[in-house]
Amino acid sequence: MKRPNTAPSRRRPNRKTSPSSFQKAQVAHRRSRSNRTVHTRNGATQPLRRLPLLLPSPPSPRSAPTTSPPPPTGGQMAPSKQYSEGGQLQLMDAERIEEEEECFESIDKLISQGINSGDVKKLQDAGIYTCNGLMMHTKKSLTGIKGLSEAKVDKICEAAEKLLSQGFITGSDLLIKRKSVVRITTGSQALDKLLGGKTQLAHTLCVSTQLPIHMHGGNRKVAYIDTEGTFRPERIVPIAERFGMDANAVLDNIIYARAYTYEHQYNLLLGLAAKMAEEPFRLLIVDSVISLFRVDFSGRGELAERQQKLAQMLSHLTKIAEEFNVAVYITNQVIADPGGGMFITDPKKPAGGHVLAHAATIRLMLRKGKGEQRDVI
């Protein structure tokens, strides 16, 4: 039988609590702020109005300055500053954009040189859209395009050479050309300087070769064939100043050519013989001699052909050295030696094999030492 709950209820009675003195003060403060008034000069009172907070808005395109700032020192024009609709800063330089658009020749210009439009379309289908890109392909790779015979490839390459100046230029002309190179900052000035490059032995030889005979120089010009795009004429300037020479005269006595294929490299050597017969030269630099061969010939299946072509070029370099009494300075690359063993600290060996080793009279290997030192082997 269920017993009734006779225990007294523990619920408190519903009592209306009165606000504390602190709560009363808060309510009074709010009312006083909402009814706050100010006194004017004529004695009347007006309610105080709250003004909205004004934040500076980004400048609109109409308010952008129309006059551009003066160009900085160095001969380069500063880009104009404009703001987009979202307030983001945009850097635009119309003159530089026009110069960059004219830095290459379209492949369509081959039609004006007598090349069939159908052959030009075949080049475009193969991913070649500029004459500059065409000269970066070997004839062997171009004949692999469907519909292009060896005779057509020869004719196309001759037409592209007429549109482009793929020969030698002076160091001064290259310095002017490199002023248009856009340098993108990394955000760190120290890192930007580190990526600027260091003085190489080849750059120093370009200057020391032009020293007088009594200063152990050659007192002649220098020819530089670059296969990796590492030559920097701006590095010649401080080296020339170190030897007390006129930097502009030193750059004028350096002829430079950029090679893109091993065939182009060999053709430059053939044309260089004609220049050496007319002007006095004392040094020929090829940097590097093996780079393009390693790119154009890949795999063990083409290794024998690569070594044969390399031997022919090295033989031509030897003949140039003996015929015109010039020194030849070539740079090489290193590769990993799989048979070096675990006890060898630096298992690397020069590329090119015995063919390149036997062609050189003196071989130097530079490797990093302690700090800024370089060990010569």
pLDDT digits (tens, 9 = 90+) for 245-265: 999 999 999 999 999 888 888
pTM above threshold 0.75: no
Q: Domain of 333: which CATH number?
A: 3.40.50.300
Identify whether the C-beta of residue 281 lies closer than 8 Å to the C-beta of residue 253.
no
Q: Is residue 313 part of a domain?
A: yes
Q: Domain of 114: which CATH number?
A: 1.10.150.20
- Specify whether 232 is located in the same domain as 214: yes
Which of 163, 179, 197 is the endpoint of a domain?
163
Q: Is residue 287 part of a domain?
A: yes
Which of 163, 184, 213 is the endpoint of a domain?
163
Q: For position 332, what pLDDT does the model report?
A: 80
Q: Is residue 290 part of a domain?
A: yes
- Specify whether 173 is located in the same domain as 317: yes
Q: How many domains does the chain have?
A: 2
Identify whether the C-beta of residue 304 lies closer than 8 Å to the C-beta of residue 353.
no
Q: Is residue 358 part of a domain?
A: yes
Q: For position 225, what pLDDT does the model report?
A: 93
- Fill in the DSSP letter of residue 196: T
Write the single-letter amino acid at 302: E
Identify whether the C-beta of residue 330 lies closer than 8 Å to the C-beta of residue 350.
no
Identify whether the C-beta of residue 258 lies closer than 8 Å to the C-beta of residue 264.
no
- Specify whether 106 is located in the same domain as 143: yes
Q: For position 376, what pLDDT does the model report?
A: 62
Mean pLDDT over 31-50 rounds to: 53
Q: Is residue 140 part of a domain?
A: yes
Q: Is residue 8 part of a domain?
A: no
- Specify whether 315 is located in the same domain as 271: yes
Strands, DSSP E only, in the chain? 37-39, 45-47, 80-83, 89-92, 169-170, 221-226, 254-258, 281-287, 327-330, 334-336, 348-350, 366-368, 374-376
User: Which residue has 């909205």 as its token pair?
Assistant: 52
- Specify whether 174 is located in the same domain as 190: yes
Q: Is residue 332 part of a domain?
A: yes
Which of 163, 184, 211 is the endpoint of a domain?
163
Query: Tokens at residue 133, please?
Result: 């890109």
- Specify whether 155 is located in the same domain as 246: no
Q: Is residue 274 part of a domain?
A: yes
Residues spanned by the domain of 327: 169-376
Q: Per-residue pLDDT for 12 more than 70?
A: no
| Higher pLDDT among residues 289 and 72, named by residue | 289
